[in-house]
Amino acid sequence: EPEVTQTPSHQVTQMGQEVILRCVPISNHLYFYWYRQILGQKVEFLVSFYNNEISEKSEIFDDQFSVERPDGSNFTLKIRSTKLEDSAMYFCASSLLAAANNEQFFGPGTRLTVL
């Protein structure tokens, strides 16, 4: 069964460093998403991506964040200068059609720890 994959599973970085979280969505899916979950809190939407551009972003997704689909299979989330409060579990998801009426498939997550 096709699945969303994410690498790495755990990333430890120093404050101020850049990190890139990688995702491989399900191959025929068209919509891609990043969510984050701070430990003990609910999952929060970061950004959605369709047709090679951001379709929606939350207020969390400031200038420190960027997303890219560099090669037609990978979907990346970059944090330019990490802060302590960026420590969280980051989930990638994909869906065949827009989320409004379509199931999203989630990756296993990347746990980011900023020291």
| Amino acid occupying residue 98 | A
Residues that bind another protein (CB under 8 A): 31, 33, 35, 37, 41-45, 48, 50, 55-56, 58, 89, 91, 98-109, 111
Q: How far is the CB of 77 from another protein (least distance, A)?
A: 15
Query: Would you say 5 or 66 has its CB closer to another protein?
Result: 5
Bridge partners of residue 22, in order along the sequence? 7, 76
Query: Would you say 37 or 76 has its CB closer to another protein?
Result: 37
DSSP 67: E
- Decide: residue 44, CB within 10 A, 0-12 exposed, 13-18 middle, 19+ buried: middle
Q: How far is the CB of 98 from another protein (least distance, A)?
A: 6
Q: How far is the CB of 110 from another protein (least distance, A)?
A: 10
- Decide: residue 82, CB within 10 A, 0-12 exposed, 13-18 middle, 19+ buried: buried
**Which residue has 């065949």 as its token pair?**
96
Query: Would you say 79 or 93 has its CB closer to another protein?
Result: 93
Query: Would you say 18 or 90 has its CB closer to another protein?
Result: 90
Task: State CA 95 to chain mean position distance.
Answer: 14
Q: How far is the CB of 55 from another protein (least distance, A)?
A: 5
